[in-house]
Structures are given as C-alpha cells and as structure tokens.
Amino acid sequence: MPAAPIIVTALLGRADQAAFDMLRREHYPPERNALPAHLTLFHHLPPSVEDELKHRLTGATRGLRAPAAKAAGLMSLGRGVAVRIESPGLVAIRRDLCEAFAGLLMPQDAGGWRPHVTIQNKVAPSMAKLLLGALGKEFRVREVEIAGLAAWRYRGGPWELLSRHMFA
C-alpha cells in the first residue's frame, strides 16, 4: 500500500470544536460527515516530509502563545457553507511552512489560502444558499481559540493522527 499523504490542520479549543461539530452535525449530509469540524492548513503533503514537518510544527508551537483568531463571517462554497476564520498569526505560520515545502505543494495548497471551517458541503447550491441566508441572520463575529497544530495521515476515510503540537 502506498504511503498516505499528510494533512495539516489547526486544532480548535474544546468549546469552539464542540460548537463547529454541532453545526456540522446539523447541516452536513450525514452520510458524508466522517470527520469532526476542522481548519485545514494543507490538504496534501507527501509522506516523505513527515519528520521535517513534525520538527517545524513543534518549532511553530512549543512555548509560544496561540495566535489570535476569530470567526469573521460566513462564506459560500457553492455547494456548501463555511465559517471564515481570520488569524494573521496562523497565516504567518502557514506562510513559513509554504516556504519550507514550496517545491512539494499540490496546486490546492500552493495557491491562496482562505482559512475556514466547513459546516456544510456536497449539497445542491440552492440548499447551500438557503443555509447561508439563514445562518447570516444570526451570525456574530467572535473569538476562536487555536489550541495547536496537527498532522494527519489521509487513508480515504477518517484521518489517522500523526502528531499534535500544542501552543503554550
């Protein structure tokens, strides 16, 4: 079996994770909702970078305060809805990782990054538009806790945790 690609995510604080998971349970098609809510930094890094990645994630987190972040709005995914996350500190961490792994990034990861947590996907565009309108009426900008960073192996279904790197 070929080695599985690596996904990198920001780990959310417990209360925020619970809130985003609840939205996902309410609005994501149940047959497709195989993962907890997540904030992806990289969708596909080659397995060959595993050791270097762990080293860099440790360097980005150990003894350091978590970057400030906020749920800044909603965004349409066309066939879904996401909560847009703003965090200049997380953007800087990702930029450093992009520079470190520049020649190895897939087009999806090398292009612009729009930090978000997907709460609905793979539905008809009309359903997504309805949810965006409904959630937009009650949405309020709020702080979001970024607790750490994690690397995962992607094996087709639920992800396998490779490493966790927590902020101070």
Q: Walk me through the domains of the chain, giving residue ranges and CATH numbers.
A: 6-163 (3.90.1140.10)
- The residue among 20, 106, 10, 6 whose CA lies nearest residue 66 is 10
Return the percentage of the chain with pLDDT > 70, whole number. 99
* CB-based contact 165:61 (threshold 8 Å): yes
Say whether pLDDT at 51 is over 80. yes
Read off the pLDDT of each residue in 111-123 and give the average, rounded to a whole number. Answer: 95
Taking phi over 0 as left and psi of -120 to 50 as alpha, with beta for the rest, 91 belongs to alpha
Say whether pLDDT at 155 is over 90. no
Distances (CA, A) of 38 to 84, 92, 133: 12, 19, 22
Average pLDDT in the chain: 96
